[in-house]
Structure 1
Amino acid sequence: MDFKKCFFSGVLFQGIGLSLFAQTTKPNIVVIIADQQRADLCGREGFPLNITPFVDELAHQNAWFDKAYTVMPASAPARCSLFTGRFPNATHVRTNHNIQDIYYDKNLIDVLKDNNYATALVGKNHTFLKPKDMDSWSEYSHWGKNVPKTEEERASSLFFKDAVGQYLDSSLVALENQQPTKIVDEALKWIESQKSNPFFVMVSFPEPHNPYQVCEPYYSMFSPDKIPSPKTSRKDLPLKGEKYQILASLEDTSCPNLKDDLPRIRGNYMGMIRLIDDQIKRLVENLKKQGLFDKTIFIILSDHGDYCGEYGLIRKGAGLSESLTRIPMVWAGYKIKKQAKAMDAFVSIADIFPTLCSAITDSIPMGVQGRSLWPMLTGDKYPKSEFSSIIVQEGFGGEDFHKDDNLTFEQEGALVRNKIAGFDELNTWTQSGTSRMVRMGDWKLIIDSNGKGELYNLKKDPFELNNLFGQNKFVNEQNSLLVKLLSWELRLQDPLPLPRTRYHFKRNPNNYHFMEDGMK
């Protein structure tokens, strides 16, 4: 026997074994994201109906945030930030129409592939990612599956295309063909095919976004007579400003019976949230049965919220209210330390990418602006001051458009006449200009590029109706928030591209900006 060949073969085999061991000990990652699900419609935040029983229990057994925020209340900007860890001013994706303009150095999928992850998207995309970027790709949208193959998928697509605005009756799409059900079916099938490398799967529901359709038993479960009424109405619109009033005018033009239909729309929205909760349960419980729960990081969130009848409005569009900007966020599974209550930290959808970098023990790429939540999620030390505030952005720039500008809803493309609910709430009027929001403690400040401000004490005024901006009594709170907002704006100036020679770029490994005594 050739000893050298034997020795070399043994070392090679051992090396391969160690390599495979290193791959399989990295956690699997399951990101479960809904489209347009507001944060407060859940039992863990006190909502009186049984709307999210499974995710509530999962949150209480793991970790969750009640001060998690989107970067911008629009799908493409928010989802692009999730995959890049960068805010819209840095990604250049400030509207749903600017995805091709994205700017970054390295994204989440790049990092995962560097770490030998198998990757898959099942559900809605609405990012810069393409099918070639993932190992598996099955895309759905608000109009059904992008490439329907079965008779049921084609029928569902026809239904969704016809009902894209709103659908008030019990849905014609049965539970087994509803998109959350089909998406979980496909996700489970793909997960079961993964036998060696760690996996990442984005389970992305296009719901509860309009058309607000839902089937039985969820349709009756949240019938109008069973759900609580909104705390605000159209009478509050003068307190909210012109953009809200323009949006209301657009909605009324497109939905002439909106006031009467609103209770049913809200019930359908809530019913779909419960349907999604049941499908999340099916997904997570299945992975538990496979022995994968403790080997997998689960993240449950939404890209942004929905008015759901607040101020008499539906969908999204105008302003930076809590109903649009705050999102649900639950972390569960691998190394997540159980928390007695919601984490006391202001966090962002932009924090997900850097957190996952820490979880798989890789460095955070240059240009990422989010911060790693991994120390706080796993019970390690972290600087509390780093998470004492958060910023949200809005607007594509330029001057604000006003209702008396020489432009009609039809000319702009925001309204399709003779089609109920045929309107686009993300339009020139609601998205023009530039606004910023900062949250800190019980307080919230919104200010636009013209210096017009809003200041709210959310503990006393959760629906943001009593604007305290400019009142002498609250000048200290206002000034503190203005300083914090300016600090965030400076912090989020894009460092890319870095200096090409000589200069050394300094940053904390977790992307922390504020450190405390005894921490490095």
Structure 2
Amino acid sequence: MNAPAAAPHIVLIMTDQQRADLSARSGFPLDTTPFLDQLASRGTDFQRGYTSSPLCVPARVSLLTGRFPSAHRVTQNSTPDAATYDRDLLDVLSEAGYHRVFAGKPHMHRGPEDFDAYRGPYFHTDGPDANPEHEAFDQWLDDLDHGVSHEPTPFPLEASLPYRIVSDAVDELAEADPTRPTFLWVSFPEPHNPYQVPEPYFSMFPPDQIPERVHGPDVARAKGGHWAWLQELIEEKRPGYDDERARYRANYCGQLRLLDDQVRRLMEHVWATLGDDVVVIMVSDHGDYVAEYGLQRKGAGMPEVLMRIPFFFSGGPVASSRRRELVSIVDVLPTVAELVGSAIPDGVTGRSLAPLLRDEDLTSTEFDDIYAERGFGGLTYGADERPPLHFPYEGRRFDELNTVTQSGRSRMLRRGDLKLIVHSDGSGELYDLAADPTEVDNRFDDPRYAGPRSELLWRMAQWMLRAQDELPRGVYTPKRAPHNWVFGEPGERGALL
């Protein structure tokens, strides 16, 4: 199938482990991403964008398939081959006649053979380049053991993974077929750990100028369960690690600016090569504690710092607006399908955001709440248990995504300023984010929140029904709503709270 005459070029920019709230456009006092903020201001900036899961591979498979992990079956980083779907983003774009280019970190169920051009794989401590300086840099990264560098990275900017990935993307664009629309996916491993950055970025945000976190390790211990288990494990393996937080936070902000400059470099070349008719999609797979709760990276729970992600569309037919609707990474596939004139594939749970990109006024309740999932299943390991892990308990090495922290199942729903999380061990959490944005005061058993809790549980049940896999197709023909929207008008049963 050939693409429509008006099919736009599409650039998907993806980062790994980027918090949504550490940019000037989100109210952060430091200007970490000036170019991305400018790009977002020229497009539709979703200020309440969420991941489907606070893990790399499940979230990335959700982006490609438009399905939540319980449907696409990938609930761990180690199981991308389990991905279950009818047609995903690459299939839709291939059928629409797109030349598909990938550069960067994959961590998904698709590989080089699924693209027309592929540069990678890059991960957090290495890339495919055989350049001796690049190999030395990669070894230096690996030796950091996903830790924090207290000195500027002793290699030039050109050795950094973002610079190399953009260079690869630029090279591949030169080979693109000018008669076909291009889909370019540039996937950066950063600002994921190890936390390091070269000059001038190392000195750009001095540690004493970084706003202090709200809560320390005492909150993780007070939360108990996986939170306490993870905090105690890291402290045991790397005593005093929390004392590094100022440098870690400064490196993180510097890495954001480095990424921003590389995205600018990328887009200047894209516009010079492909012209102005380019739709840019920017998203991250999940967030990072950035020292909140005395934790680094990710692993325990579903707090906003992990679940909310930067998410915007810009360019081409996209209107300039800042939207407050609750949207998800699963919405990327159906949105792109509508933009290129293709049908939304079977089994997709995500919703096309195309009407929102046109800045249409909405009366539907479709975007009044959002849902997400966590956990690989089984019983939930307790804070005192020490089951076998994929790394030893002794020594400095650890992985925050492990047998304990990912055990059991959790489901999350945010509606307005209320956030509900239910766990398969029978426990629950309910937070009023307006009064308690860092989710410290659990109101699940508070009688004053009994009514809202009941309504949120009802809405979560509707989302869990929606997320249930409807594949494979049989002889019956499902009824599909326009834009794949399910919830109706105000006043209907779906309009709660």
Q: What are the within-5 Å matches in structure 2 for residues 29-108 of structure 1?
A: 29-108=10-89
1:510 to 475, 479, 483: 483
C-alpha displacement of 1:291? 6.0
Greater shift in the superposed pair: 250-259 or 368-377: 250-259
Aligned to 2:156: 174
Contact 1:363 1:509 in 2 (8 A): no
Amino acid at match of 2:287: G
Q: What are the within-5 Å matches in structure 2 for residues 74-473 of structure 1?
A: 74-139=55-120, 140-145=122-127, 147-168=128-149, 169-194=151-176, 195-290=178-273, 292-293=275-276, 295-339=277-321, 342-380=322-360, 382-407=362-387, 411-415=388-392, 417-419=394-396, 422-473=397-448
Contact 2:67 2:348 in 1 (8 A): yes
C-alpha displacement of 1:416? 6.3
Aligned to 1:15: none
Cα 1:415–1:313 shift into 2, 3 Å = farther
Aligned to 1:9: none
C-alpha displacement of 1:156? 2.3
C-alpha displacement of 1:250? 1.4
Deviation string for 1:355-414 (max 9, x for gaps)?
00000010001011110001110234555410100001011111111133353xxx4124
C-alpha displacement of 1:165? 1.6
| 1:460 counterpart SS class | coil
| 2:296 counterpart SS class | coil
| 1:96 counterpart SS class | coil
C-alpha displacement of 1:153? 2.4
Contact 2:48 2:325 in 1 (8 A): yes
Aligned to 2:494: none
Cα 1:199–1:291 shift into 2, 3 Å = closer
C-alpha displacement of 1:317? 0.2
Contact 1:51 1:271 in 2 (8 A): yes
Contact 1:236 1:465 in 2 (8 A): yes
Aligned to 1:12: none
Contact 1:239 1:465 in 2 (8 A): no
* CA distance in structure 2 between the partners assigned to 1:238 and 1:178 by the alignment: 36
Deviation string for 1:462-514 (max 9, x for gaps)?
00011111111111111111111111011111110122x2x221111411102
Greater shift in the superposed pair: 42-51 or 189-198: 189-198
Aligned to 1:8: none
TM-score by length of 1: 0.91
C-alpha displacement of 1:65? 1.1
TM-score by length of 2: 0.95
Cα 1:463–1:321 shift into 2, 3 Å = same
C-alpha displacement of 1:77? 0.1
| 2:234 counterpart SS class | helix
* CA distance in structure 2 between the partners assigned to 1:134 and 1:90 by the alignment: 24
| 2:430 counterpart SS class | strand
Cα 1:406–1:159 shift into 2, 3 Å = closer
* CA distance in structure 1 between the partners assigned to 2:221 and 2:240 by the alignment: 21
- State the structure with more CA Rg: 1
| 1:331 counterpart SS class | strand
* CA distance in structure 1 between the partners assigned to 2:50 and 2:219 by the alignment: 24
* CA distance in structure 2 between the partners assigned to 1:288 and 1:179 by the alignment: 22
* CA distance in structure 2 between the partners assigned to 1:186 and 1:322 by the alignment: 33
Identity %: 41
* CA distance in structure 2 between the partners assigned to 1:371 and 1:378 by the alignment: 15
RMSD: 1.7
* CA distance in structure 2 between the partners assigned to 1:376 and 1:23 by the alignment: 21
* CA distance in structure 2 between the partners assigned to 1:196 and 1:41 by the alignment: 40
Aligned to 1:16: none
C-alpha displacement of 1:148? 2.2
C-alpha displacement of 1:109? 0.6
Unaligned runs of 5+ in 2: 491-497
C-alpha displacement of 1:55? 1.1
* CA distance in structure 1 between the partners assigned to 2:47 and 2:222 by the alignment: 26
2:451 to 462, 476, 481: 476
Contact 1:122 1:203 in 2 (8 A): yes
Contact 1:118 1:197 in 2 (8 A): yes
Aligned to 2:495: none
* CA distance in structure 1 between the partners assigned to 2:78 and 2:266 by the alignment: 33
Contact 2:148 2:247 in 1 (8 A): no
Amino acid at match of 1:388: D
Aligned to 1:27: 8
| 2:265 counterpart SS class | helix
Unaligned runs of 5+ in 1: 1-18
Amino acid at match of 1:55: L
C-alpha displacement of 1:279? 1.0
* CA distance in structure 1 between the partners assigned to 2:289 and 2:353 by the alignment: 28
C-alpha displacement of 1:417? 3.7
* CA distance in structure 1 between the partners assigned to 2:464 and 2:289 by the alignment: 27
Amino acid at match of 1:215: P
Greater shift in the superposed pair: 324-333 or 155-164: 155-164
* CA distance in structure 1 between the partners assigned to 2:147 and 2:393 by the alignment: 14
Q: Which has the higher helix share?
A: 1
Amino acid at match of 2:439: E
